[in-house]
Chain A
């Protein structure tokens, strides 16, 4: 079963780029622009990971992400933004990772998504990566 990811992105092209890169890495992606649907989406999709691309959202839209803390308690979140210390919204008791937004690096976001999932124990990625690391060491690539 592919891992399910919900992506919020206000900009069509950025959203499409993130979706494409995630799908290529085997994720099942649900892409949304409108923050108002966030609660319904999180309830119906029950994703393993949420990605919020902050760029292009209005401040009041960003504030409304704060209200999702309860729903995101057991779901790792990757925030794509200009700066790591982003005070536009707060997710309490949520495991949050950060990724640089400008320029958008879809492959870095995918890597961050994988590491967040591995850290949260939601995938067997950590095990696979350890094996890959061992193999790299074995053939002298490390």
Chain B
């Protein structure tokens, strides 16, 4: 059941949920706070015991596990690359322990290895997800995402172990694209349940709040800025009050800059990952284009917050100023926070903002927040 709270995607089941007999809320909060004090280590998974957090993002899938005095984090690229089938190729793939599966006389290379193959063939990887949701464009989308998740999540040691997985919010601003959050969530949930877990969906923005705002009583706005989209969640004492997604993210910056400069989107992504500085004058055409499209994205995000939050009648009375915390790879450029803060000054919200900060662990915050939720839900 649902608290630190609910079916975290705003569809809380209420009847007969008395919490009587379940874990007391103060114990849940204590369990959550204990997790947040641990250090984060990136490593290969070794055994699957205890609750887990899984960030199912458009670009990456990240697993967070509680391992004694640390949080263990493992990543896999959410991408695939198809090569023709042959006995020789199979042998090479197996010898090199490359994750793949066979379908329609082709090999589907999945995860991090897909990018290596794409580079070798001077081509682009493909993705089973687009804009935060499973894409129907790829015939084998479901099989691919299941295979990628399987490289990270094996069967649990104990049947029914809790795994919290991230889901995007419903489009709340540029709602021109049909999405099926329910369908997307159901597919992931069904697969994790088939492995023997008790899966619980958590909104991405809420996960950021769970990872970052423990000291603020899990109250504030969590924003996850990924490759496919931006997720925003206004949370009050861990209750997701408003959650929505803006259907734009880092990939849009890559595509737009690619169009302006004539370089491939993959190349632009590489340049971005080397480091972007939004606080200084751009040095060349690529730098200028990156600044323009980052600024554009931040501007649209901030204005979406004004529109969605201000028009809601759900906002509780919030007496004290609340923090905003931003996470995700798209928030990594130098000067990002300052630009966001500056744009925030131009809008009106029904409460005061105390501070804007960028997550301590940009790429892992969603998975860590999902883990915090899983631990607090575990009996």
Contacts and interface: CB of A to CB of B under 8 A. Distances in A.
A14 interface: yes
A28 B19 contact: yes
B12 A17 contact: no
A16 interface: yes
A31 B18 contact: yes
Contact of A16 (B15, B18, B239, B317): B239
A15 to B, nearest CB: 6
A20 B238 contact: yes
Most B Cβ at <10 Å: residue of A13, A21, A37:
A13
B15 A37 contact: yes
Nearest to B29: A24
A20 B14 contact: no
Nearest to A34: B15
A28 B24 CA distance: 9
Given A20-B238, A20-B239, A24-B237, A12 B14 contact: yes
Interface in A49-67: none
A24 B30 CA distance: 12
Interface stretch (A70-78, A104-112, A128-136): A104-112
A108 B317 contact: yes
B319 interface: yes
B315 A103 contact: yes
Size range of the interface on A? 20 to 34
A31 B317 contact: no
Interface string A71-109: 000000000000000000000000000000011111110
Contacts of B15: 32-34, 37
A105 B5 CA distance: 18
Size range of the interface on B? 20 to 34
A34 B18 CA distance: 14
A113 interface: no
A29 interface: yes
Contact of B314 (A13, A105, A108): A13
Given A30-B18, A31-B14, A37-B15, A20 B317 contact: no
Most B Cβ at <10 Å: residue of A19, A29, A107:
A19
B328 interface: no
Interface in B1-33: 2-3, 5-6, 10-12, 14-20, 25
Contact of B14 (A32, A104, A108): A32
Contacts of B16: 32, 37
A29 B286 CA distance: 57
Contacts of A34: 15
B5 A16 contact: yes
A106 B3 contact: no
Contacts of A21: 237
B313 interface: yes
A12 B10 contact: yes
A31 B16 CA distance: 7
B68 interface: no
A108 B236 CA distance: 15
B241 interface: yes
A84 to B, nearest CB: 17
Interface of B: 2-3, 5-6, 10-12, 14-20, 25, 236-241, 313-317, 319, 350
